[in-house]
Amino acid sequence: MIHLSQFTADFMIVAVSDFSFLSLFLQASFVVKFVMVILLIASIWSWAIALEKFIKFRILKSRADKFEETFWSGRTLEDLSAGLAGDIRDPMARVFSAAMKEWNESKATANRGDGALISAQQRLNGVMNLVVNRELAKAERGMTALATIGSASVFIGLFGTVWGIMNSFRAVGEMKSADFSVVAPGVAEALFATALGLIAAIPAVIFYNFFTAELDRYAGRLEGYADELSAILSRKLTKGS
């Protein structure tokens, strides 16, 4: 019996001395495994969102550069509108297309008096603001998920940590011993849950802050263009052209 007990203790020490990710996962209790899976999925999800956002903002910036270069090339608004020929993949192009459609419908009635002119200008600004807000809402998709992952992952990992520590105390109570082989499994799974929580949370927070700044810059650029276009079309409405 003495030899068997010693063998069992040695085996448990060897078992808990394997701290590879797979071993820590397999040794964890069901609840902590569930927490680990959630955190792993959250981490992968945040990286997928970040990759999609990085590509999207690169495309938006490239298309905006090309459109602004064309817009300020000196061509008339009518020529630009005809030149688009339905190619309005860029948000700026969609703002321009919607504004030109409203301007064409309003210019015939804008010269009926100051009230008609003000109403036409308000409709024009309203249409552009609607398109701008819709395009910014599209660009913002996924940001809420990043914010949620960044804020919740730490607490989910902390829950796994608390559960792992509870398992350690439970094992101590059952075995009537605070030996390393008794305490180590629960402590190891607790620390691993903490680490996974941080691994999921830290990149998500960094991604959220980075893409929030990118979104703010693009929003300022898109709204600035809408304001410039509104001023140009308002002058044309005033002149009745």
Query: If we measure between CA atoms, which residue out of 63, 47, 228, 210 comes closest to residue 135?
Result: 63
**What are the helix (H) ranges across 108-142?**
114-140
The set of residues, in sequence order, having a beta carbon less than 8 Å from that of 219 and lying 6+ positions away, is 136, 139
Does residue 213 form part of some domain?
A: yes
Amino acid symbol at 233: L
Structural domain harbouring 146: 29-239
The pLDDT tens digits for 33-56 are 888 899 999 999 999 999 999 999
The span from the CA of 46 to the CA of 150, in Å, is: 9
The pLDDT tens digits for 212-237 are 999 999 999 999 999 999 888 888 77
Does residue 159 form part of some domain?
A: yes
Does residue 234 form part of some domain?
A: yes
Does residue 185 form part of some domain?
A: yes
Does residue 156 form part of some domain?
A: yes
Does residue 10 form part of some domain?
A: no
Does residue 106 form part of some domain?
A: yes
Domain count, the chain: 1
Does residue 228 form part of some domain?
A: yes
**Predicted confidence pLDDT, tens digits, the chain (241 residues):** 444 444 344 434 444 455 566 666 677 777 878 888 999 999 999 999 999 999 999 999 999 999 888 888 878 888 888 777 666 778 898 998 888 888 887 766 655 555 667 777 888 888 999 999 999 999 999 999 999 999 999 999 888 888 877 777 776 666 665 555 556 666 777 788 888 899 999 999 999 999 999 999 999 999 999 999 988 888 877 776 5
